[in-house]
A = this chain, B = another copy of it.
């Protein structure tokens, strides 16, 4: 078993960890060995201290079996925009280059820690999780391509078997997009279901903590640890399920590339073959196409106050996008901003209601495979609607997109249907993974 310990998904490791069949230290050592071997190529980590990890592991091993939390000994990588009280938080910003550990944990880090998770280290992010300028982290499947962003290191670490689970955040598409690019599951819960205290703030309306894993059952462990509660709904069964495929207006806008087009056709064929009733659907009859414009207005309006303090501290060190928000270079008026806030708020219950007409809804994650080069972390427009609608969504990997790179599709639901979405995603995701055609070399 020890040879492939680093390949275990969290849910499998948990079964062995809970009764000491597997010691946390042993598991940690396997992952640290993988990290030592692979990170010089992948560059997933902004901060990692092997001795600190092993000390945590030994402390966890001493906890009596009956006192262990639901994530006992599960290693979790933390995006470097979440405050941690024993590791520095640097936001990939020159302003915080020399910053030391915080006095407090971000709320979600506190929950991970209280649940017994092993905090592995901090992963690379784009600056304040706001820009689309990538590097140094690469796509583990092809180092010439971006892993996506802003949760670059979290996605790459999980895809590359350097961590079974990772914390990310999504404001536009920063969980779903890197998950799609790196061929793993990415789960953005309903907005507000998990506290965002202690995470870098970009857009208060859109910022959402999310997670990466290679097995959906790992998210079920997290759903338990974070006490996620659903609005009751009926159990998903694939046979006879009514599954909507929603291209959205972004399909033509992006536009959809060959990777997405191939995955789209294949997904419909697979689900049909397995007995589902698949149909192409359209946005409900309301202003959903405006979400793209409104997302941008909100990024500007909320980014303006969010980054104002950093701007005052050191304007010169900030990315031009961030400066442009603070200076409102796009000239988005307060009236435009309120229209975007209120307009998207009106659409949320419409989406929730619409979503109940289907047993599952599938929509694109990204226009195509990960772009070549590390400069640009990719197009987030397919994901923005779900961030703004506060809807839970889940990247399902499995499709081959070309150049040895994966591509995924998004399962999306109404607010507070997170657990049901995970159950549904497990069934559909298994099919996509087994029959979608992506063959990982990792």
Interface size range of chain A in the complex? 35 or more
Q: Does A358 contact B (CB under 8 A)?
A: no
Say whether B104 contacts A308, CB under 8 Å: no
Say whether A302 contacts B111, CB under 8 Å: no
Q: Does A306 contact B (CB under 8 A)?
A: yes
The distance in angstroms between the C-alpha atoms of A338 and B107, with both chains bound, is 22
Q: Does A346 contact B (CB under 8 A)?
A: yes
Q: Does A310 contact B (CB under 8 A)?
A: yes
The distance in angstroms between the C-alpha atoms of A335 and B353, with both chains bound, is 12
Say whether A103 contacts B101, CB under 8 Å: yes
Q: Which of A53-61, A158-166, A194-202, A240-248 contacts B (4 or more CB under 8 A)?
A: A194-202
Q: In chain A, residues 194-237, which have Cβ atoms closer than 8 Å to a Cβ of chain B?
A: 194-197, 200-201, 204, 226-227, 229-231
| Shortest Cβ distance from residue A55 to the other chain B in the assembled complex, whole angstroms | 20
Q: Does A433 contact B (CB under 8 A)?
A: no
In the complex, chain B residues whose CB is within 8 Å of the CB of A252 = none
In the complex, chain B residues whose CB is within 8 Å of the CB of A352 = 338
The distance in angstroms between the C-alpha atoms of A196 and B305, with both chains bound, is 9
Say whether A415 contacts B111, CB under 8 Å: no
In the complex, chain B residues whose CB is within 8 Å of the CB of A104 = 83, 89, 96, 99, 102
Q: In chain A, residues 314-334, which have Cβ atoms closer than 8 Å to a Cβ of chain B?
A: 333-334
The distance in angstroms between the C-alpha atoms of A194 and B309, with both chains bound, is 10
In the complex, chain B residues whose CB is within 8 Å of the CB of A334 = 229-231, 415-416
In the complex, chain B residues whose CB is within 8 Å of the CB of A89 = 103-104
Q: In chain A, residues 283-310, which have Cβ atoms closer than 8 Å to a Cβ of chain B?
A: 301-302, 305-306, 308-310
Say whether, besides A107-B201, A200-B197, A309-B110, A231 and B100 are in contact (CB < 8 Å): no
Say whether A195 contacts B309, CB under 8 Å: yes
- Determine how many copies of this chain the complex contains: 2
Q: Does A193 contact B (CB under 8 A)?
A: yes
Q: Does A345 contact B (CB under 8 A)?
A: yes
Q: Does A313 contact B (CB under 8 A)?
A: yes
Which of A102, A104, A313 has its CB near the most chain B CB atoms (within 10 A)?
A: A104
| Shortest Cβ distance from residue A95 to the other chain B in the assembled complex, whole angstroms | 10
Q: In chain A, residues 4-41, which have Cβ atoms closer than 8 Å to a Cβ of chain B?
A: none
| Shortest Cβ distance from residue A360 to the other chain B in the assembled complex, whole angstroms | 20
The distance in angstroms between the C-alpha atoms of A196 and B308, with both chains bound, is 12
Say whether A226 contacts B308, CB under 8 Å: yes
Q: Which residue of chain B lies nearest to A84 when distances are taken between CB atoms in the complex?
A: B103
The distance in angstroms between the C-alpha atoms of A426 and B345, with both chains bound, is 34
Q: Which residue of chain B lies nearest to A303 when distances are taken between CB atoms in the complex?
A: B195
Say whether, besides A229-B334, A312-B115, A333-B231, A107 and B195 are in contact (CB < 8 Å): no
In the complex, chain B residues whose CB is within 8 Å of the CB of A309 = 105, 107-111, 114, 195, 197
Say whether A415 contacts B114, CB under 8 Å: no
1/0 per residue A71-102: CB within 8 Å of B? 00000000000010000110000001001111
Say whether A305 contacts B195, CB under 8 Å: yes
Q: Which residue of chain B lies nearest to A230 when distances are taken between CB atoms in the complex?
A: B334
In the complex, chain B residues whose CB is within 8 Å of the CB of A103 = 83, 88-89, 99-103
The distance in angstroms between the C-alpha atoms of A310 and B109, with both chains bound, is 11
Q: Does A349 contact B (CB under 8 A)?
A: yes
In the complex, chain B residues whose CB is within 8 Å of the CB of A200 = 197
The distance in angstroms between the C-alpha atoms of A341 and B308, with both chains bound, is 27
Q: Which residues of A contact B (CB under 8 A)?
A: 83, 88-89, 96, 99-105, 107-111, 114-115, 192-197, 200-201, 204, 226-227, 229-231, 301-302, 305-306, 308-310, 312-313, 333-335, 338, 341-342, 345-346, 348-349, 352, 415-416
- Extra contacts, 8 of them, besides A102-B103, A195-B201, A342-B345 (Cβ < 8 A), are A89-B104, A105-B309, A107-B306, A109-B309, A110-B312, A114-B313, A197-B309, A334-B416
